[in-house]
Structure 1
Amino acid sequence: MSVTDTQPPAAAPLIPRAQPPERPAARIIRDFARSPLALFGLALLLVIVLAALLAPWITPQNPYDLRSLSIMDSRLAPGEVGFSGVSFWLGSDGQGRDMFSAILYGLRISLMVGLIACTSALLIGLTLGLVAAYFGGRTDTVIMRLVDLHLSFPPILVALILLAILGRGLENIIVALIIVQWATFARMARATALSERGREYVEAAQSLGLSRIRILFGHLLPNCLPPLMVLYTVEIASAIALEATLSFLGVGLPATQPSLGLLISNGFQFVLSGQYWISVFPGIALLLLIVAINLVGDRLRDVLNPRNIT
C-alpha cells in the first residue's frame, strides 16, 4: 500500500449559502436609520403628532371653549397661576387662553390641513400626470399647458384670490391648498412616467393586450411613487406654512378655530411690550413641525434615489 493510499480523502470545499435578497422596505429602513439627523427629525415629528393627537387629554383646558376661559387670566407670563387656579406653563394670550393648550390644538389643525390637502392634491396631480405622459399628444399638451399656467403664479397669490372668493373657513382653506398644489404633483408624475413609459415591462404589458387603465395604475403607478412620496412630505410642510401665513394675514381660519398662524397674529401686537410668549411659542412650535417634516423628507429623497441604492 502506498503512502497516498493511507491519506484520508480531501474534504469537499464549502460552498457559501446564497443570501436571500433584501426586501426593499428593509433596505429603506436600514438606509434611513444611518442618518442621526433624520432619526432626530422622525422622533421629533412623532412626538409632535402624538402630543397633538392627545391634546384633549394632556392639556389643562380647551382653549376654544368659552366656558373655560377667564378674562382675569389674560396675558399671564409663563409659569404663573391664573385666577381660575390653572398653572399656565407657557403663559396665556389676551383672551385668557392657555398657550400650551392653544399650541397643541393648533398643531392638530395644522397637521390635518396639511395631510388632507396634500393627499388630495397628490391624487389629482398623479392621475393627470400619468394620463398626460401615457397618452401624449393633445392630451399631454392641454394638461401641461394648464400646469405651466398654474405654476406661473405665486402660490400665496392663488390662495389669496381663492379665499377671497370662497371665504374663510377650514373647508375653504383646504380646497384652496388643493388647487394650489395639484400642479406640482402633476408635473413630477408626468416627468417620472415619461422615463418609465419606454421600459420593457410597459412594452410587455402592451404586447399582452392589457387595458390602458391597468397599465397606468398597475405598472406605471408603483414605479412613479418613490419620488412623489418625497415631494409629498415636502409639500405637507409647505401647506402647513402656507396655512399659517394665510391665517396670520387674517384670511385663513376664523378666530373660533385654533391655528398657529392665528395665535402668532394675535400676539404680534404685544411683542414690543414684552409679552413675547403669545407669538414666540406658537412660532417655535410651527418651526419645529416644519423642520421635522423637512428632515424626514430630505432623508427619504436620498434613500429613495435609485442612484444611491446599494
Structure 2
Amino acid sequence: MMAAATATAALDVSVETPLHRLVRKFVANRIALSGLVVFAAITLLAVAAPLVAPQNPYDLATLDIIDGSLEPGMTNIDGKPYLLGTDEQGRDMLSAILYGLRISIGIGVGSTVIALVIGLALGLFAAYSGGWRDTLVMRLVDLQLGFPPILIALILLAILGRGVDKVMIALVALQWAYYARTVRATALVERRKEYIEAARCLALPYSRIVFGHLMPNCLPPLIVVATMQVAHAIALEATLSFLGVGVPVTEPSLGMLIANGFDFMMSGRYWVSFFPGITLLVTVVSINLVGDHLRDILNPRLQK
C-alpha cells in the first residue's frame, strides 16, 4: 500500500502543470491570498454598487441638503441611518465610496489592459525585428521614461481636458513604455533559444513565430508588472483627481471624494475624506500584496 501511495504521489507531481504549480504556491501564501480575496471583494462591491448601495449619490432627486454633514452612525429625520455619514450635500458616503470604486478600479484596470497590449506588441516587434526598428522603439521608451509620470499626465490632461476617457488616455501613455521595455528584455533572451531557431528553419510565418512561440514565454514577467501597474494607475488617478485635473465632479472617483472633503478636515468633518482615503489605501495595498507574491513565484532568484 505504501508503494502504491508513493507511485500515486509521484504521478501527481509528474502531471502538475506550471499553472497548477503557480496556483498551489500562491494559495500557500496566506498574505497574498488575503490580498486577492480583499481586492476581489472590493471589485465585486464596486460592480454591484447600484444593487447594494443604500443611495444613488449622484441622483439629485435622492439628495436632501437637510441631511448634510451628518456624522457616521447618525440617522436623518426619517430614521434612515448613515453608517459612514454624509457630506455637505447630504450624499451618503458609503454609497459615494462604492460608486467611486467603480470609476477608480475601472480606470486602473482598463488603462493597464490597453497599455499592456500596446507595450506587448511594440516590445515583441522591437526585439524580433532588431536594427533601426528596435532602436526607434527603445528611444521612444527612453524618452517617455525620462520624464516624471505625474508631469506627463498633467500636460496631457491640460491639453485633453477632464473626463474618464481623458484620464485613461493619459495613463495609457504613461504605462505602455514599462511593458515594452519588459517584453523586449525577455524577448531578446528567448529569440536566441533553440525553439525559435527551429521555427525559423521551418520557415514558419512571422506572426506564428512571434505570437505563437515568442509571446507566451514573455507573459510571466508581464503578469507581475501589470499587477503592480493596476495599483499604480489607481493611485495616480486619485492623485490627478485630487489635484482637480482628473475625472469631473459629476463622475467622482475616490480621489475626487478625498478632494471634496479636504476643505472640511479642519472643521471636524473628517469622515468625508477619511473613509474614501482608507478605501483607496486598502485597495492599493491588496493589489500590491498579490503582485509581490507573484513576483516571488515567477522569479526563481527570489525563491528560498
TM range (shorter): over 0.9
In the alignment, structure 1 residue 215 sits paired with structure 2 residue 173: no
Please give the residue correspondences for 1:114-263 in structure 2 after superposition, counting only pairs within 5 Å. Answer: 114-263=108-257
**1:271 maps to which residue?**
265
Superposition RMSD in Å = 1.7
Give CA-to-partner distance per residue, 1:151-207, whole Å, 9 cap, x none: 000111101000000000111111111111111111011011111111111011101
Structure 2 CA distance, aligned partners of 1:83 and 1:260? 28
Query: Separation in 1 of the partners of 2:280 and 2:132?
Result: 43
One-letter amino acid of the structure 2 residue matched with residue 302 of structure 1: D
Task: Give me the whole-angstrom Cα distance separating, in 1, the residues matched to 2:264 and 2:112.
Answer: 34
Equivalent in 57, 64, 80 of residue 58 of structure 2:
64
Preserved CA contact (<8 Å) 1:55 1:105: yes
Per the TM alignment, residue 121 of structure 1 is displaced from its structure 2 partner at its CA by 0.2
| Paired AA for residue 296 in structure 1 | V
* Runs of at least 5 residues in structure 1 that lack an aligned partner in the other structure: 1-12
Matched residues, percent identical? Answer: 58
Q: CA deviation at 1:254?
A: 0.6
Aligned equivalent of 1:301: 295
Whose helix fraction is larger, Structure 1's or Structure 2's?
2
> For the Cα contact (< 8 Å) 2:296–2:303, is it kept in 1?
no
Unaligned runs of at least 5 residues, structure 2: none
CA contact (8 A) 1:193 1:220 kept: yes
| Distance across 2 between alignment mates of 1:276 and 1:191 | 47
TM-fit CA distance, 1:302? 1.1
Q: Shift of the alpha carbon at 1:39?
A: 1.3
Closer, same or farther in 2 for the Cα pair 1:23/1:308, shift >3 Å?
farther
Spell out, residue by residue over 1:114-148, the C-alpha distance to the aligned partner (whole angstroms, 9 max, x if none).
11100000000010001111111100000000000
Larger Rg: 1
TM-score between both structures, scaled by the size of structure 2: 0.94
Structure 2 residue aligned with 1:98: 92
Matches within 5 A, 1:1-150: 16=7, 19=11, 20-83=14-77, 85-150=79-144
Shift of 1:59: 1.2
TM-score (normalizing by structure 1) = 0.93
Q: Which runs of 4+ in 1 moved over 6 A?
A: none
Q: 1:171 to 1:228 in 2, by over 3 A?
A: same
How many residues are aligned here? 298
**Is residue 70–residue 84 contact of structure 1 (8 Å, CA) maintained in 2?**
no
